[in-house]
Amino acid sequence: MSGSPSSGREWRAEPRTQGEGIGTGTGAGDPCVIEEVTTLNSISPPGLRVVRVGDVLDVVFVSGPPKRLIAQLGGGQLVGSITSRSMLQIIECIQNGRQYSADVLTIQGGACQVRVRLA
């Protein structure tokens, strides 16, 4: 797996186009075409109680301090924070008018795994 610690390479994933697998991608030279699977941090229990696998969450930049990305329901209810290797690039793209979403892949106890992607 490219970018894994056991491969002896740098920790960043190699550029890939969207749909070419899971990781950071640059589709047709667009650095904002990013698709990445991550587990939400700082889970909000009330938000997690209403989320189901298959739901699509909004990814929102909060300027802080500290700067952070959050995943929230359409009505604005916080589900959790996103910390990913592409976080700074996603923030830059959001500040330039792009939008991202997070597809809920799994929920196990207090953990929620999502796929962050360009909306």
Q: Looking at 12-110, which runs of residues are DSSP E strands?
A: 35-39, 56-62, 68-72, 78-82, 100-108
pLDDT, one tens digit per residue, over 14-53 is 333 333 334 445 456 899 999 999 999 999 999 999 999 9
- Render pLDDT for 56-104 as a digit per residue (tens, 0 to 9): 999 999 998 888 999 999 999 999 999 989 999 999 999 999 999 999 9
What pTM, to 2 d.p., does this model score? 0.75
- For the chain, the domains span 37-118
* Tokens at 64, concatenated: 């802080």
Largest CA distance in the chain: 43
Q: What is the structure's pLDDT at 28? A: 64
Q: What is the CATH number of domain 37-118?
A: 3.30.70.2330
